Chains A and B, each alone.
Chain A
Amino acid sequence: NAGVTQTPKFRILKIGQSMTLQCTQDMNHNYMYWYRQDPGMGLKLIYYSVGAGITDKGEVPNGYNVSRSTTEDFPLRLELAAPSQTSVYFCASSFNRLAGDTGELFFGEGSRLTVL
């Protein structure tokens, strides 16, 4: 199993550009999440999804959009990139109905985004 896979690992954007961070998981997890990590701030939840077709806002959703058309994929879209969106982005997943709610999240390796 690959677990949670994120692409790209690194990206530099110019102010005003748009891009999509890709995330896919092969653990048949129902829940998927996007967090951003800023130095000294821990991880902040951007968006999450409880299943295909269902998404909801987290703590810091402004400037981002998500979609969940399949169980496996949960892309994060940045529209009109701003310097404040310079961060490391982590995708995570959890909860396989057959295995039950073990609680922990499984994380990808992260995508480092710089907006100049």
Chain B
Amino acid sequence: GIQVEQSPPDLILQEGANSTLRCNFSDSVNNLQWFHQNPWGQLINLFYIPSGTKQNGRLSATTVATERYSLLYISSSQTTDSGVYFCAVLNRDDKIIFGKGTRLHILP
């Protein structure tokens, strides 16, 4: 089945730094979403982005479907950005596959 790989697995940054999180997938997908799981476990939708580029404040995402990857950019990191970032894809069989996540720690 489709493989979803996220990198890096862990990232520690100082407040104010920028970061790029990557999601590679091994086959064509019908949908791709980025989520942030906060320390209390709540999953928050960041982007629904099967292709193209979107921006929302300090966050932006780009998916290049033909090359099977997506990038999540976080600029001017804040401590509240800490948590786990997941990418999830919907494959051609309508199965939802999650990556293992990137654990982000923003230090004050």
Tell me whether A and B are bound partners. no
- Which residues from chain A sit less than 8 Å from chain B, CB to CB? none
